[in-house]
Amino acid sequence: MNMPVPEQSLGTSLARGWRGKCPACGDGSIFRAHLKVADACNKCGEEFHHHRADDFPAYIVILILGHILVPLVMFTEKNFAPPYILHVLLWPVVAVALSWVMLQPVKGVVVALQWHMGLHGFDAARKKRLG
């Protein structure tokens, strides 16, 4: 059921991955659950089962959140000097909430990047798709 797909830019693939859409057609979904990658696109049939995102999305989220949260904590401490209990109660909640929100889009980008570059099992599908 794989349909021919013209070569597209890396930005298009990554943007589709960020939105959780199939990098090939842009209509179907990469995910079947919050962080579970579907075996194939429900619209065009592009296979995703050979992705190897593993822990890389979590590492990226940690890196991004570190660059966001550390300056926020420092700014808050320097300018407002709240009691430490407020730090203890506030920042873990913020970190967990932001992690939950960011993890799916980042994982979608990693899968879309693998798809675009033809990594792992995506190479055979890419050759078939591009002719």
Tens digits of residue pLDDT in 12-46: 999 999 999 999 899 999 999 999 999 999 998 89
Q: What is the mean pLDDT of the chain?
A: 91
70 lies in a domain? yes
User: What's the domain range around 123?
Assistant: 10-130
Nearest CA-CA partner of 34 in 60, 57, 68: 57
Residue 126 has pLDDT above 90, yes or no: no
2 lies in a domain? no
Number of domains observed in the structure of the chain: 1
Residue 131 has pLDDT above 80, yes or no: no
3 lies in a domain? no
**Alpha helices (H) along the chain:** 10-18, 56-80, 84-117, 122-130
CA distance 95 to 104: 15
CA distance 100 to 81: 28
Residue 1 has pLDDT above 80, yes or no: no
89 lies in a domain? yes
C-beta separation of 44 from 24 below 8 A: yes
Residue 5 has pLDDT above 70, yes or no: no
1 lies in a domain? no
Paired with 47 in beta bridges are: 40
Mean pLDDT value across residues 47-57: 92
114 lies in a domain? yes
Q: What is the pLDDT of residue 3?
A: 55
